[in-house]
Amino acid sequence: MDLRQIKNLMKEFEDSKIHKLEIKDNEFSILLEKENSKFVSSPSFAPVGSFTETTTVKEQGHSVKEEEVNENTLVRSPLVGTFYQAPSPDSEVFAKVNQKVNVGDVLFIVEAMKVMNEITSPVNGTVVSINVKDATMVEFDQIVMEIKE
């Protein structure tokens, strides 16, 4: 294997969901292993719940007028990163508006420091809104999706 092939292999490995790869060929061998193989799921980091109270929301430094938040489950970003609706640009999206989802289904990915964190559904229900555009930045605790149980 030449250096160009090794670099291409490393790039493909980095972009994949594989966490360990070992190749042996005659006198050549290579072992690739990712340090952090754990995925973050929304229930462990992001507060999720149903709200019927009136709240004031601040967004990007300016106040948004008070409004009543409905009974939907709010799925929030557990970290700062880039929001992706699909595992790759040519793949089908994980979740669409009006799609039924079950507990544990992957809803979206937040990429942070080249780690793809799969965010899963905390409830069974129907996706009623996606509040972020694909490949845009999300903040910690930002509401990304709403699911009606």
What's the CA gap between 70 and 51, in Å, rounded?
A: 6
Name the more confident of 14 and 54.
Answer: 14
Over the stretch 101-135, which tens digit does the pLDDT of each residue have?
A: 999 999 999 999 889 999 999 999 999 999 999 99
Percent of the chain with pLDDT over 70: 75
Interval 84-103 mean pLDDT: 94
Distances from the Cα of 149 to the Cα of 4, 49, 80, angstroms: 51, 11, 27
To the question of domain 42-46+74-148 being in CATH 3.30.360.10, the answer is: no
Task: Write the pLDDT tens digit of every residue in 53-63.
Answer: 434 444 444 43
pLDDT of residue 1: 66
User: CA 19 to CA 35: how far, in whole Å?
Assistant: 8
Q: Where are the domains of the chain?
A: 3-33, 42-46+74-148
Is this model's pTM higher than 0.85 or not?
Answer: no
Summarised one tens digit per residue, pLDDT across range 20-41 is 877 777 777 787 777 654 444 4
HSE-up of residue 112 (Cα within 13 Å, Cβ side): 16
Residues in CB range of 84: below 8 A, 6 or more apart: 108, 109, 110, 111, 116, 134, 135
More confident position, 71 or 3: 71
pLDDT score, position 64:
36
